């Protein structure tokens, strides 16, 4: 589970963003803060994986908070969610290591897609461990964020975004490629439905198909997230 701190000076906006995060499989909100000081104190008490950070805070800017986080040894990843859209602020966010920058106002789908890309990056990094990597794998890791655009923008007839998210969440938690039967068992879908979603995700380049040969000689189709390719 990916723990998230939502930081926004507007209490109502913070609640909306927290509700959005809670709807994304694999994420949970463990705290809310409405100022930089409150956010820093929260992070010192309860470290999180990801901070959804507004730039316009009452006591200092979000980017100033990121600097203080790093000075304090707080390594939480940061995703900017702000109305600030001037190029200088966007550039500064990049320089400070923000992994994503989402301009307000945005929809649930917009945030969901950014979070999905972030989760895929974490999955890829966890799979790589401490070993050395190659350029192709590095490119795949970075592409998990660059291609975090709506995977559900145009869904085939008979496909739904929640079911797609459910299938992706199961594969994200898995430590190996899964078959359609295994996905069906873990999602509660029928095998044929799971297979249909898996094939579509493969066509969308979200999944990679692998083959495992058994005693019968017929290969079993198994699927793994593209970003997690070894």
Cα→Cα distances 166→13, 38, 68, 176, 197, Å:
26, 34, 37, 17, 10
Look at residue 65 and tell me if it is in a domain: yes
**37 and 92 housed in the same domain:** yes
Q: What pTM, to 2 d.p., does this model score? A: 0.62
- The answer to whether 186 and 180 have CB atoms below 8 angstroms apart is no
CA distance 24 to 8: 19
Look at residue 23 and tell me if it is in a domain: yes
**161 and 91 housed in the same domain:** no
pLDDT at 151: 47
**185 and 93 housed in the same domain:** no
CA distance 55 to 34: 11
pLDDT at 227: 55
Look at residue 111 and tell me if it is in a domain: no
Structural domain of 206: 143-228
Q: Look up tokens 């999905």; give the residue.
A: 116
pLDDT at 123: 77
Look at residue 15 and tell me if it is in a domain: yes
Residue 73 preceded by cis peptide, ω within 30: no
**86 and 147 housed in the same domain:** no
pLDDT at 7: 97
* Nearest of 205, 201, 114 to residue 159 by alpha carbon: 201
Domain containing 189 — which CATH number?
A: 1.10.10.10
Give me the number of domains the chain comprises. Answer: 2
Instruction: Please list the pLDDT of the chain residue by residue as tens digits (230 residues).
Output: 999 999 999 999 999 999 999 999 899 999 999 999 999 999 999 999 999 999 999 999 999 999 999 999 999 999 999 988 888 888 888 888 888 888 888 888 888 888 988 888 887 777 655 666 666 666 665 555 654 444 444 566 677 777 888 888 888 888 889 999 999 999 899 999 999 999 988 887 788 888 877 665 677 899 998 754 33
Look at residue 114 and tell me if it is in a domain: no
pLDDT at 216: 59
């Amino acid at each position: 589970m990916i723990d998230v701190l939502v930081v926004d000076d507007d209490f109502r906006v913070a609640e909306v963003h927290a509700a959005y995060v809670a709807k994304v499989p694999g994420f949970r909100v463990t705290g809310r803060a409405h100022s930089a000081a409150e956010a820093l104190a929260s992070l010192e008490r309860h470290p999180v994986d990801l901070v959804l950070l507004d730039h316009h805070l009452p006591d200092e800017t979000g980017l100033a908070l990121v600097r203080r986080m790093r000075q304090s040894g707080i390594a939480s990843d940061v995703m900017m969610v702000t109305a600030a859209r001037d190029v200088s602020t966007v550039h500064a966010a990049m320089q400070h290591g923000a992994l994503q920058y989402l301009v307000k106002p945005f929809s649930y789908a917009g945030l969901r897609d950014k979070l999905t890309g972030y989760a895929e990056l974490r999955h890829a990094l966890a799979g790589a461990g401490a070993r050395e990597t190659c350029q192709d794998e590095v490119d795949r890791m970075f592409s998990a964020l660059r291609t975090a655009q709506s995977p559900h923008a145009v869904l085939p007839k008979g496909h739904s975004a929640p079911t797609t998210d459910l299938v992706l969440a199961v594969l994200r938690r898995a430590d190996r490629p899964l078959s359609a039967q295994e996905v069906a068992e873990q999602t509660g879908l029928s095998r044929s439905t799971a297979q249909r979603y898996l094939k579509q995700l493969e066509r969308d380049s979200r999944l990679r198909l692998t083959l495992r040969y058994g005693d019968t000689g017929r290969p079993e189709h198994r699927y793994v997230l593209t970003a997690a390719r070894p």
